[in-house]
Structure 1
Amino acid sequence: MAKMKKSTDSHNYSSSENARREFGISIQELEKLMQKRGHEGIKQLNETYGGLSGIEQKLKTNLINGLSGDDNDLSTRMVAFGRNELPPKPPKTFLRLVLDALLDVRLVQPIIFAIILFALSFYYPSGETFEAGAKPKEANVALIESLVIIIAVIVVVLVTAFNDLTKERQFRDLQSKIEADQKFNVIRGSQVHQIPITDIVVGDICQITHGDLLPADGIVVQSNNLKVDESSLTGEIDLIKKHESEDPFLLSGTHIMEGNGKMLVLAVGTHSQMGMIYKLLDEIKEENNDNKKQNAAVNNQGATTLQEVIPDNVNQATTKDDFDRFEFEERPNLQRKLTELPNLIAYAGRRIFILIVLVLLVPFVIKEFVERREWSDKFRSRVVGYLVTGITLLIVSVPEGVPLVATISLAYTVKKMMKDNNLVRHLDACETIGNVTTICVDKTGILTTNCMTVVQVYVAEKHWKNIENSTKEIIIPANTKEFIIEGISVNTNYSSKILSSAEQETLPKQIGNKTECSLLGFVNALEGNYDEIRTHYPEEKFIHVYKFNSLRKNMSTVIRRSDSTVRMYTKGATEIVLKKCKTILNHNGDIIPFSTVDYDRLIETIIEPMASDGLRTICLAYRDFSSNRLPDWNDETSVVDQLTCICICGIGDSVGPEVPIAITKCRNAGIAVKMVTEDNINSARLIAFKCGIITHNDNFLMLESKEFNRRIRSETNGEVEQNLFDKVWPYLCVLARSSPQDKYVLVRGIMASKINPIREIVAVTGNGTNDAPALRKADIGFAMGIQGTDTAKQASDIILIDDNLNSIVKAIMWSRNIYDSIKKSLQFQLTVNIVVVLCAFIGACIVRDSPLRGVQMLWIYLIMNILALLALIIEVPTEELLTCEPYRRIQPIISRTMMKKIIGHTIYQLVVMLFILLAGPKIFNIDDGRPVDSIFKPSQHFTMIFNVFVLMTLFNAINCRKIHDEKNIFHGISKNSIFYGIWIITFIVQIVLVQYSSFIFSCVALTFEQWIWCLLFGVSVLLWNQMLNLIPVTRNMPILGASNVYELALRGELDREEQSRPEASLTKDKHFDHQE
């Protein structure tokens, strides 16, 4: 630890010297500057470095144009100030994982026995007499059977270590993918570039806007109403306002909640404030692991406490989300279930081991004692053989591969989901999405194509329709046209723009906010040039900006047009902006009064018809101020008022062609889809009908935010009451004019609902900063990969790379496929386990020996794990997965149908093996292989038992591909080359082992006729499976591990309303006013 610390300090000293030599300022000086912050930091900035311009000169950058982008310059900065990345936590080596596995309590006892038995197998005194040639052969058999236990332990240890290694690599790969996809806008060479956050260097000028998660420390160089959430570092709950002259310091890991601006990067990586905390926590963890210290102190030539190292005002209780990249360890619910199962089986296995050894050993010892035989090494070998059989059975009986099944299945699914445009941030999301019963989706970008255009416009007292094809026919006064072009150009985010396509038939590419892009497209259609206007009015010269948010629902930008005039442009939701208008531009471009009567007329004749056509309406307005009498810009209520309406734009966004199909799939899958939108209810209704969220036959409810809150809140205190909420949400299909708070209330309320005794599992989509609470609250949060802000992505479980509803449906399919794949594997493994244990036990009771030898059981153990881990869990999901109800999280992993199959095949295979054991010699005309005088010798009799069991296991693997009583078990098998490839190879190896490795596997080569009998018994498992399919599964059958509530629901002992899905069970209620 000290050596690592010394190496780190040496590297920091070298980097600091490089920074001072190249730029005249060191890393430590920049760190101290960022630690001060506030008024103290501003004072130091001005007095020590000559203010912002002084830092600009020292770092050799330009606050307007940014860095040049020269590769040599960027490399020099990385060397001098470090890279913007944190050193990854060193992974455990495979050897360390093997040692950890060896310390497992379940393996300590077998390891001790293995060592003892291995030593005893070499003990054969020279004075002992044997039959001719018996001594070396018997000695070799005893040695081989003793080695079986050691090999079994090694296999278990390697499987466990590989499982842990796979999980750790999976976590790291997933986290690396998340970090690699994080990009940020920087200005280099006067151009805006989107680069990975790891490429950001000290001296870069970053564009920051609401929703961003800051990737580095820096200082504000330009601010438009910039407000930051620093609670993750400082613990300060209130938003902190940032300005060039007031607290300009920005910290990595904090969230931009409002406004936008530019930042000069001063510290990156481990030299940033968040990076210093990561590094410090890593050091403390190392010290605690080494038991050198028990407190949070770091030694470096003297005691430095945690509070001294962490910068001023930094809260030590940093949230878990901020440390996702530092400690990325999760244990999904499914993995917990699968981890508990081997422990339970191991508990039973230890008792069966003792029982079998006693059944074998006690009668043998008693017989030897009664007959007073001489205690020879031959009998000592027999005792060793009994112990080998028991211990091997103990190890083989425990399905160590069960937890690995979940790990490999999750790893495989995560990679496949990535190809289907789902970036999984949290592993438990892979399993939870398959449990989802309700999805709350946004309209824009999810249900619609998110390629918006201005379709209709009300301007100059005339309503123009179908203008997306041509705007040349529109007659607009010159001054009104100028208002539209200039207002849209400056009152939109400058990151929003339209890139012309190189191909004539391809639509222009919209970058940034799609609504703003549609307005910019209208500017282009009016032959305006927004780039020129933006150049004339750079963001640095804005007097004030009221950024759009979910509460404000509009955006206003104040610019100076002349020495005497300051103008404010406003755009936003029509109902809100239009209410603030007192005048309007007429057909001549003149200003005329706008009354309440005019407002109502426009709502009825313009806005509602546009909304009925499925259009989002945006009102554009302006207000002029005299330079001599400027208002208090902080008084937004009085400033954004007395407006003049310019025009009303109707923006169209068509429903994606795949959306209705996806909605239908969700309905068939037992998932209710609820649309949450900021649009008015008329527009929302049309889109909902087009998507299939509502139909004319549905008993549905559509509400706007105001009415929704009135119905669910108490009249006395205004708080949400669950009983009122439960009367609304089952019918609610569309929530219009909603806010992020409404979305959060909806998600929380559905999750807390008691209508269904088994809790609803809720998924929600979101793209904005204010959607983060709902994304975090929901069981599954989907953030938009294209539209989504960094804050939304940080709060999500899965990122939709393409912002497409169809990707959510694919995620549901993959998740359900995980459950089915694991169920297939479990059904197969448990059948093998139970048959092996019971066969050994019954055989011990009947013939005083196990019909299966230790080496044979090891081969069966390998078959079981190889087929279960590779052949059965790697299945491609099919559409059939979307025709059944969601899996419930409290639902046991072993279903009634699985129990029927496990018990049924166990009974059949045991009957077949006991039949061969007892009647085989007579039926097949072979010698009886049962031990004589307690001495086991290989025989065709016991070889057939072994061969039949392996073949029945192989053919049962085909049965286990279907777990829902499907008749055609071969359906889709040709698409799974891994399955039939492993199956054929295993079959060929079995032939070789029986015919050509007889001595090692205690076998005698079988004849062709005997092989035919073995194959018939193997194939008969397929026919037996069809007979089991005919046995009905009743609700009165118990389920292993099911809760009382789940049992009651399935038995039908709950009310009809409680046992079914709310959407399916609730009928018309007089308390509801359903809208159609």
Structure 2
Amino acid sequence: MGLTEKEAEERLRTEGENTIGGERKSGPLRIFLGQFRDIMVMILLGATVISVFLGEISDAVTIILIVLLNAVLGFIQEYRTEHTLEALRSMTSPTAKCWRDGKLREIAASRLVKGDIIELEAGDRIPADCTVLRAAGFFSDESVLTGESVAVAKSAGAEDDTDNSLNKPNIVYFGASAVKGSCRGKVIATGMDTQMGKISGMLTDIGREQTPLQKRLAELGKAVAIICLIVCAAVFGAGVLRGENVFDMLMTGITIAIAAIPEGLPATVTIALALAVSRMMKQKVLVNKLHSVETLGCTSVICSDKTGTITENKMTVTELSTADDDFFFSGMGYRVSGAVTKGEDTAVNPLAERALTEALRCGVVCSTAEISTQETPKSRNRGSLAGRGEWSVTGDPTEAALLIAAAKAGITKSSVSEKCRTLGEFPFDSETRFMAVHCSFGSEKRMYFKGAEEILLPRCSQYMNGRGEKVPMTAAFRRRLEEKAAEMSDRALRVLALAMCVSDDLAPYRGSLVFLGLAGMTDPPREEAKAAIRRCATASVKTVMITGDHKNTAVAVAKKAGLLKGGMAITGEELNMLSDEELDRDIGKYTVFARVEPVHKLRIVRSFKRRGEIVTMTGDGVNDAPAVKEADVGVAMGVTGTDVTKQAADVILMDDNLATLVSAVEQGRCVYANIRKFVRYLLSCNIGEVLTMFLGIVMGMPIVLLPVQILLVNLVTDGLPAIALGMERPESDIMSRPPRRSDEGFFAGGLMWRIVIRGIFIGLSTLASFTTVMHLGSSAEACRTAALITLVVSQLIHVFECRSESRSLFSMNPFGNMKLVGAVLVSGAVLAAAVLVPQMQVIFSTAAPSMAELFIALGFSAAVPLVSSVISR
């Protein structure tokens, strides 16, 4: 049986080892050095060299610390992503039980080759894609590949079948787990030829792209570089034309150019993102990559998994139809509280309904699952259960759902076991598709059956009516039950038939059964997911569901969740029939993608991206990893997600909840809005400083501000106020606006115009303050002090204007951001100390202003927002 060692060695040489994933593309040093290729970073490094040359050591040290902080953060994020394929490789089974030379041996899974015969049993990790030769009640958990949590039954097929496509009942897949029974399989694919290997190949082919924020900051860096060169050249040229010393004017030009660089910007962006990450962590969102926080904010399409994200991933019995009546069960998922009603709302005593009681007893007997609670639930009345929290469940989720439904009717395992003692069991099998339990019930011996309706119903010759009487089954009545089962299936309910018979021994294939009922169960949509989908619609964010489930089931869930309004559903097979051009043209019509494979998910994400959408993709299994990595923002599930998906993702939801993701989108929008706010603030201030110095030189005035005073201005205005501005709360209408376009510039919406105009006002008011005090006959120190006060105070007033792009300074609550108020007070105190404390006056070349000089300085500072407010109207 199986191959000989010699045959296996020869095949191993030609096929290669049974491993997946590649080596890391970049070493740690290369990744770290790559962080310094950003234009803004290069400008800052150049500024550092010049600062050292000019003797401004403190300036140089500050800039270097900023650059290193950004480089370290970027390195950590990028290095972490390099482990994705390593995590994928770790899912390989380390050993396999394989027949070699007619003997069953345990060998390294990496040495398996095509044609090997292996043995599998419950608990094993499947080491290669195999065709099933023999199976005994074998079930495989393929959730890492398909995303569906229900174990799949496997049965023997053709020995020469080498097609390892997904969702085949006679194929077991590399990376899946054996959860029940035993199996013998023949290896048909190893390594990169397996379904897991193909996913690995997709991950390898996906490159990293810059986030929208990184692209915008790169554009800003280029603009700043050009401005610095123009300022330097203009000041140098103006000074030389006036007859100033060439070297002195070169140094002055360089000094002013350095003043134009918003060296606090990278640090402020990093701090704003880090603070957002901290806030999101409190909302159960773990961020792997810092810049992905902002990218979330411009999400225009959310591609969501169904199971566990939109739905609860907790099977729930919602109705049970006996021969005479329909009974409904409230309380979704594993919640303790719930009730049983006849029809939609008629209260019922289940114990008075003999057929219902017998059907629920059948479900309890035919269950190996267990449920428990910390607190004993209370029954308000028969047919109603009250309690806090959820049931703790172990075992098969379908069987647990039957136990919870029975508990709502006052029927528990312990109460059943007092009257019903199990004698034998015929386990559920993929071929028979039913389960039978033999037990003694008082003086009578019975068999209870649970299984597929199309298997058990034809074997029923009787049914139990509401009084507990056994009535002969007519052909017409059987058709009625079949139609009922079909109607329940059409509503995406999973239908199980329950039946019984009197029998002295375990005879599972015996006919003449008594029909008890049809149990309909579903994985219900999360209530918070419904609200999240509505919120996304308000924010003009399209939500689509991508699932490996059947189309009918997916459509039914989508309807309940509010996803299918005006949208259509399409399957993976139908996707295969569309070209990329056709898909790009029509993809906006679809909100449900069913029966999809990993390659389909990747194709869907790429199609949306080609249309200019910013795509957020959620996933938990290995099958989701390529699409998660390809998306603009990849989101992994923290509870059910595999390590592969978590490492491929930018963001991890710690509660697997779509509503949490939507809250993260709001935080992302807030972060980008805040970044625009402090970029507006910093650039306006820098333009004001540069204009003050440049116009002073052009007009032939004395130097308006000394280099040490410019350093003080940057220290006072660029630090705490900018950071506090980055902590502004989301504006009330932030989720009512459409997401910004992927090609939208950083200064869209007239931001650059506002920055330039405000910078000009700041510069002109500072010059006006300087010249006014100079005309009073004051000293040069007094004139510079007045100019310094005007420049700093006007900037500190401006920071409050930057809190909103749509409202004026006078229409906002000044105390809406107390951190900003505190930062401005600290900055004001530093300015006061520099002007009034004698020791500080020596350092900064300032003089205590007279009342007239102070009034002039503050008057010009206040004039700026007044003029700006009038112009904005």
Do the two structures share a fold, i.e. TM-score over 0.5?
A: yes
Q: What secondary structure does 2:841 align onto?
A: coil
Q: What secondary structure does 1:880 align onto?
A: coil
Q: What secondary structure does 2:243 align onto?
A: helix
Task: Report the equivalent of 2:217.
Answer: 338
Structure 1 residues 960 and 713, CA gap change in structure 2 (3 angstroms): same
Structure 2 distance, partners of 1:213, 1:886, is: 45
CA contact (8 A) 1:225 1:259 kept: yes
Task: Report the equivalent of 1:999.
Answer: 842
Structure 1 residues 957 and 610, CA gap change in structure 2 (3 angstroms): same
CA positional deviation for 1:882: 0.5
Structure 1 residues 319 and 391, CA gap change in structure 2 (3 angstroms): farther
Q: Is residue 2:862 matched to residue 1:1019?
A: yes
CA positional deviation for 1:829: 1.4
Q: Is residue 2:495 matched to residue 1:618?
A: yes
Structure 1 distance, partners of 2:656, 2:457, is: 36
Q: What secondary structure does 2:727 align onto?
A: coil
* Residue identity matched to 1:650: G
- Of 918, 926, 942 in structure 1, the residue corresponding to residue 777 of structure 2 is 926
CA contact (8 A) 1:431 1:818 kept: yes
Structure 1 distance, partners of 2:292, 2:662, is: 14
Q: Number of matched residues?
A: 747
- Of 372, 391, 403 in structure 2, the residue corresponding to residue 509 of structure 1 is 391
Structure 2 distance, partners of 1:792, 1:98, is: 25
Task: Report the equivalent of 2:382.
Answer: none
CA contact (8 A) 1:101 1:157 kept: no
Q: What secondary structure does 2:351 align onto?
A: coil
Q: Percent same amino acid among aligned pairs?
A: 21
Q: What secondary structure does 2:726 align onto?
A: coil
CA positional deviation for 1:820: 0.5
Task: Report the equivalent of 2:228.
Answer: 349
Q: Is residue 2:783 matched to residue 1:941?
A: yes
Structure 1 residues 385 and 456, CA gap change in structure 2 (3 angstroms): same
Task: Report the equivalent of 1:292.
Answer: none
Structure 2 distance, partners of 1:990, 1:999, is: 14
Cα deviations by residue, 1:110-141 (Å, 9 ceiling, x for unpaired): 6665566xxxxxxxxxxxxxxxxxxxxxxxxx
Task: Report the equivalent of 1:586.
Answer: 462
Structure 2 distance, partners of 1:346, 1:644, is: 84
CA contact (8 A) 1:583 1:643 kept: yes
Q: Is residue 2:186 matched to residue 1:260?
A: no
CA positional deviation for 1:874: 2.0
CA positional deviation for 1:594: 9.6
Structure 1 distance, partners of 2:649, 2:500, is: 40
Q: What secondary structure does 2:777 align onto?
A: coil
RCO comparison, higher one (Cα < 8 Å, 6+): 2
Structure 2 distance, partners of 1:43, 1:776, is: 36
Structure 2 distance, partners of 1:598, 1:729, is: 46
* Residue identity matched to 2:823: I
CA contact (8 A) 1:451 1:514 kept: yes
Structure 1 residues 96 and 654, CA gap change in structure 2 (3 angstroms): closer
Structure 2 distance, partners of 1:407, 1:659, is: 31
CA positional deviation for 1:720: 5.9
CA positional deviation for 1:891: 1.1
Cα deviations by residue, 1:312-343 (Å, 9 ceiling, x for unpaired): x999999499899xx99985331243144224
Task: Report the equivalent of 1:527.
Answer: 412
Task: Report the equivalent of 1:498.
Answer: 371
Task: Report the equivalent of 2:55.
Answer: 147
Cα deviations by residue, 1:663-696 (Å, 9 ceiling, x for unpaired): 443222112344668588699669846x5557xx
* Residue identity matched to 1:991: A
Structure 1 distance, partners of 2:677, 2:671, is: 10
Map 1:343-492; keep pairs closer than 5 Å: 343-361=222-240, 363-365=242-244, 386-441=249-304, 445-446=308-309, 453-459=316-322, 462-466=325-329, 468-469=339-340, 471-476=350-355, 484-487=363-366, 489-490=367-368
Cα deviations by residue, 1:747-791 (Å, 9 ceiling, x for unpaired): 85586369xx96233445455665556555554454444455666
* Residue identity matched to 2:519: C
Unpaired runs of at least 5, structure 1: 1-36, 45-88, 117-145, 185-205, 215-221, 242-246, 264-309, 366-381, 547-554, 625-629, 631-638, 695-699, 930-937, 1031-1076
Q: What secondary structure does 1:464 align onto?
A: strand
Cα deviations by residue, 1:219-274 (Å, 9 ceiling, x for unpaired): xxx9944488999xxxx995899xxxxx99x9xxx732x642699xxxxxxxxxxx
Task: Report the equivalent of 1:988.
Answer: 829
Map 1:208-357; keep pairs closer than 5 Å: 224-226=138-140, 238=164, 255-256=175-176, 259-260=178-179, 319=200, 332-357=211-236
CA contact (8 A) 2:571 2:594 kept: no
Cα deviations by residue, 1:990-1045 (Å, 9 ceiling, x for unpaired): 11112332332232221123222222222233323423432xxxxxxxxxxxxxxx
CA positional deviation for 1:709: 5.2
Structure 1 distance, partners of 2:48, 2:524, is: 67
* Residue identity matched to 2:373: S
Task: Report the equivalent of 1:960.
Answer: 802
Task: Report the equivalent of 1:159.
Answer: 66
CA positional deviation for 1:654: 6.7
CA contact (8 A) 1:785 1:800 kept: yes
* Residue identity matched to 2:763: L
CA positional deviation for 1:944: 1.6
Task: Report the equivalent of 2:100.
Answer: none
CA contact (8 A) 2:584 2:611 kept: no
Q: What secondary structure does 1:413 align onto?
A: helix
CA contact (8 A) 2:601 2:624 kept: no
Q: Is residue 2:614 matched to residue 1:761?
A: yes
CA contact (8 A) 2:705 2:788 kept: yes
CA positional deviation for 1:360: 2.3
CA positional deviation for 1:391: 2.7
Q: What secondary structure does 2:842 align onto?
A: coil
* Residue identity matched to 1:992: A
Task: Report the equivalent of 1:812.
Answer: 665
Structure 1 residues 603 and 989, CA gap change in structure 2 (3 angstroms): farther
Structure 1 residues 672 and 227, CA gap change in structure 2 (3 angstroms): closer
Map 1:87-98; keep pairs closer than 5 Å: none
Q: Is residue 2:739 matched to residue 1:886?
A: yes
CA contact (8 A) 2:620 2:645 kept: yes
Q: Is residue 2:700 matched to residue 1:857?
A: no
* Residue identity matched to 2:835: V
CA positional deviation for 1:610: 9.1
Q: What secondary structure does 1:883 align onto?
A: coil
Structure 2 distance, partners of 1:316, 1:713, is: 24
Q: Is residue 2:566 matched to residue 1:701?
A: yes
* Residue identity matched to 1:671: V
CA contact (8 A) 2:203 2:626 kept: no
Cα deviations by residue, 1:45-77 (Å, 9 ceiling, x for unpaired): xxxxxxxxxxxxxxxxxxxxxxxxxxxxxxxxx
* Residue identity matched to 1:147: G
Structure 1 residues 384 and 229, CA gap change in structure 2 (3 angstroms): same
CA contact (8 A) 2:766 2:860 kept: no
* Residue identity matched to 1:820: A
Task: Report the equivalent of 2:23.
Answer: none
CA positional deviation for 1:420: 0.9
Q: What secondary structure does 1:741 align onto?
A: coil
Q: What secondary structure does 2:319 align onto?
A: strand
RMSD over aligned Cα, in angstroms?
6.0
CA positional deviation for 1:542: 6.9
- Of 686, 693, 715 in structure 2, the residue corresponding to residue 833 of structure 1 is 686
My pick for the range that moved more, 509-518 or 97-106, is 97-106
Structure 1 residues 946 and 793, CA gap change in structure 2 (3 angstroms): closer
Task: Report the equivalent of 2:656.
Answer: 803
* Residue identity matched to 1:260: V
CA positional deviation for 1:870: 1.6
Structure 1 residues 314 and 462, CA gap change in structure 2 (3 angstroms): closer
Structure 1 distance, partners of 2:4, 2:415, is: 39
Task: Report the equivalent of 2:700.
Answer: 847
Structure 2 distance, partners of 1:97, 1:676, is: 36
Q: What secondary structure does 1:939 align onto?
A: helix
